[in-house]
Amino acid sequence: MRQVRNIVAMCALVAATTLGTTACGSQEPTSTDPAPVTSAAPAPSAADSPDVGGGTGTDGPAVEAPENATPASELPADAGPAAVPPAPNRDDVNVDARDFEVDGGQYFFQSPSGNVFCAFGSVNAPGTIVGCQVRYSVPGNTGRECLNTENNTYGVQIREGGTVEQICTNQGIFFGGNPGPRVLEYGQVIGVTGNFCRSTEAGITCYDGDRGFMISRDVNIAF
């Protein structure tokens, strides 16, 4: 009987010891699953940081102007699409000046647009080799301003001696012929006594050596 009690007591002690060990282990359960991965936001770049030096604080990197940038006020008047084409020579002449002659020694022509009228040797402009006038244009690069009216319109002329003058005129000093001057078509070049005029879509350009002018509705340049 005593032996039976001893066996029961031993079993109870073993059971108590096993339960205590399991209870302590359950406080911090272990897991074999890996921890979840959280995507990190990209680190802010210097471009995203506020300008701490007192700048504008705009987004993105600062853009510096080229050291050799030319101010707009210093750009040449003939820059851009209205740049003066190179001076022609006798080989570039592709019309017969006699087809444009009126009253012996005067040669009149107009632009295809009908806005520009020109003449070599016009008796209405004494001392002028070649000149043009327009129905409408813009102030010349020498500062001359006209009203763009029938009695005050823009003109430009090459004087004997090579002086180029931008003028205002109230009469048809470079308009002649009846019913009107012959058209100098785009791409045509006329030459009279070593002076030349070229017709392009940008305007009429006339030369006396390396001096001259270019004039149209949107261009009025003496060079």
Q: Where are the alpha helices (DSSP H) in 94-223?
A: none
Do 86 and 159 touch, CB atoms closer than 8 A?
Answer: no
Q: What is the dihedral of CA 159, 163, 167, 172, to 10 degrees?
A: 20
pLDDT band at 85 (very low <50, low <70, confident <90, very high): confident
pLDDT, the chain, mean? 74
* pTM, two decimal places: 0.64
Long-range contacts of 39-47 (CB under 8 A, 24+ apart): none
pLDDT surpasses 80 at 147: yes
Q: If pLDDT is split at 50, 70 and 90, which confidence band does 5 have?
A: very low
CA torsion through residues 40, 46, 48, 49, sign: positive
Contact between 103 and 176 (Cβ < 8 Å): yes
- Dist CA 105 CA 107 (whole Å): 7
**Residue 34 DSSP class:** P
Cα torsion angle, 69, 72, 77, 78, sign: positive
